[in-house]
Structure 1
Amino acid sequence: DRAEILSKAFAGQGSIARGMVSDTSPWFVDHSSSGRDVVRAKKLVEEYTEETGLPLTFRLLVAPGTTLERVASLWRGQLEEVGIDMAIDLVDPQMLSLAAVLGQFQAILQVGFDSAHPDAYEPLFRGIPAQQSVVSGNTTRYISPLVTKSFNDARTTADVTRQVDDYGTIQEQVAIDIPYLFLVQVREVVVTSTKLRDVTNWSSGSGAEGLGRDDATVSLAQLWLAR
């Protein structure tokens, strides 16, 4: 019940997530899941128990003392209603990050997918089937040839319309395979002035002050800097 989580954990500040891309983004294509269905969920849990002879249980890693701990507690209560037992393990943020890159978890609750452009998410889906390394930025180890192709296709064109189609394909496939469960979207605002060059202090290899590193999906022949 995303609405309950949004209301009780975030005081209603934000919106229910409808996918990996914010619904205010020009790249957004709606492939949101259906609403909560307790009756169907209970039936699926019963079928799982009958087929395996085991209760449906899993462990969730989350950082302690955070809003996400509250989210985890609410979610656990919702899962209990349909017969799913979720144990919450409170883990130090550094150990949580280590568990993510090593793939040593059953489920992790984290903040993510907060970049301005969907191309930044490509490392989260990178890999070759049956050739996963021990340490990987692909937290879920989910690999889809269609998703990989769509990211590559989006990088080979400057046609925004085609890029929207490619990123739409990615969102659709992720909605089908569900390597991630998206709960809520919380807005972030950065206030700047015309005199501000960057919101981060960057330094070059020599230690001297440097320019910020900007990402782009289309190669530039020239870059002009105004002084």
Structure 2
Amino acid sequence: MPPEASPDPAARLAELVAVMDRLRSPGGCPWDAEQTHVSLAPYALEEAYELVEAIEAGDRAGLREELGDLLLQVVFHARVAQEHDQDPFDVGDVAQDLVAKLVRRHPHVFADAEHAADDEGRHVAWDRIKRAEKPARVSALDGVPLALGALARTQKLVGRAERAGLAVAPAPAPASDAAGPLGDRLFALVLEARAAGLDAEGELRRTTARWEHAVREAEADAGER
């Protein structure tokens, strides 16, 4: 039986860590015991997408559930990391590093630094602190994951370039004519969306969702005839 729920959030998180430890330990769940960071990676992506879906659907119950599923991924990976023979760390180390990072990257809140005048100023300061923390990065564009979808990655790169004061111009012409014009138009739409303060990825997902709903309705109507 699961332990009785505690009203203390810290105690609830401790219970989660204890349950994960039980599942991973001898006598626990065989499937959990055999997982690795690599085998779990696809689930992290899947849970993140399901969380976004719940948010965009306005599904409060789904939001709560998907946040839990995403939290499970964090706790699971941290538990696996405890077993590393040379560089072990646990969920407490992860939380400690995150707290330190948040404090360090918000000097306008936790230090005596002058408050940035606007959101853009704070973004610029954030990027500057990140570059100082990661000296191996030689470009303002470094660190944007290749695994991001093409649309989301374009948005992220353009935003990084703008905050770094770099010129954002249309993409260079491709080496061949294959698919160049279409790619240029898509890139231009991302720039247009950013200029309008819109999330191009979210806008496309919402439009696709409306289209999908209409197609499913038409499909159901056709099946009833």
- TM-score, normalized by the shorter chain, greater than 0.5: no
- TM-score, normalized by length of structure 1? 0.21
- TM-score, normalized by length of structure 2? 0.21
Larger % of strand: which?
A: 1
Higher relative contact order (CA 8 A, sep 6+): 1
